[in-house]
Amino acid sequence: MIKQTLVLLCCVSLVACGGASTVKPAPPSAASKPAPATSQPTTASKTGGYYLDDGPGDNPPKDIDSIPNAVPKKEPLLDRANKPYKALDASYTPMTQYQPYKETGVASWYGKRYHGKNTSSGEVYDMYSMTAAHTTLPLPSYVKVTNPANRRWVIVRVNDRGPFKSSRIIDLSYAAAYKLRFSSAGSTLVEVEAIDPNNFALYSADKTVNSAPAALPANAPKVAATPAAITKPAIVTNNSANTQYFVQAGAFKSEVNADALAKKIQGLGIAQNAGINSVYNNGLYRLKLGPFDNKQDADTAAATIRRQLNTSAITLTQ
């Protein structure tokens, strides 16, 4: 009996240490009552990967970068979607009017598992539209989201609730994450700024697609089940000129420690033209920078990290 109890405790411990890249649970009801606790799946792959059966779609648009940013416009707020609510034992009080909001934190994204299902606003979620979920911003509203690692930015329409995990501040659509260049990982550090409805013209006038290094191929392929597999560039040939390089800055059992190192790297301005992604696999959060276009740039970034942060940064090709 004692042996059986020990085995059971070990199993519970392993599950508790597991992680998932996409963390958005089923959104709460648009009414004031929260979604039943049973609607939240409780298990995830012990080897990492996307949240249960979530991830990119099998047949994405050929040119996701051509999907336009959301165009801010004045819309009436939805009373039923902006009432106080509870989710996963936490209480939230949404804003009922515009308030200045600017925050830096971790963004995640959600994809095919929710594609075609209703959002908290009652609209149908489209993973290829420029939308987002937030716990307290008014529904609907608009925000500008910037990836400080590569300075790419998007404008999205907030029409859903989530993510309900304290380490995340916003859940983006797959298209938005792709354009910010972190769709190959579950999360990345971003800056989120609410758009003032009195200054919509400022953002509506700028319809250009921002450009930055680390562009992904236009024809996004089918993606493997684990983040570690998909950090490898989608198109790599035997020609070394097409090889892209990454720098692993550290590997941690705690996601908090990985996020802390990401913030230090960003604060020091190391590898400004490379993305910073925390990839969960085999029980560890591996902090990776890249891709770099050549090994020399990757080696330089790795050497800088080792010198300034005293960590064992290494150069990788995937």
pLDDT at 186: 79
Question: E strands, the chain, where?
Answer: 85-87, 90-92, 102-110, 131-133, 141-147, 152-160, 168-173, 187-194, 245-252, 275-281, 284-292, 314-316
Residue ranges of the domains in the chain? 18-26+45-204, 231-316
Residue 48 Ramachandran class (φ > 0 left, ψ -120 to 50 alpha, else beta) = left
Predicted TM-score of the model (pTM): 0.55
17-31, 90-104, 198-212: range with lowest mean pLDDT: 17-31
Residue predicted with more confidence, 65 or 291: 65
Domain 231-316 has CATH 3.20.20.70: no
**Spelled out in words, what is the top-level CATH class assigned to the domain 18-26+45-204?**
mainly beta
Interval 99-116: pLDDT, tens = 899 999 999 999 888 898
User: What value does the mean pLDDT of the chain take?
Assistant: 73
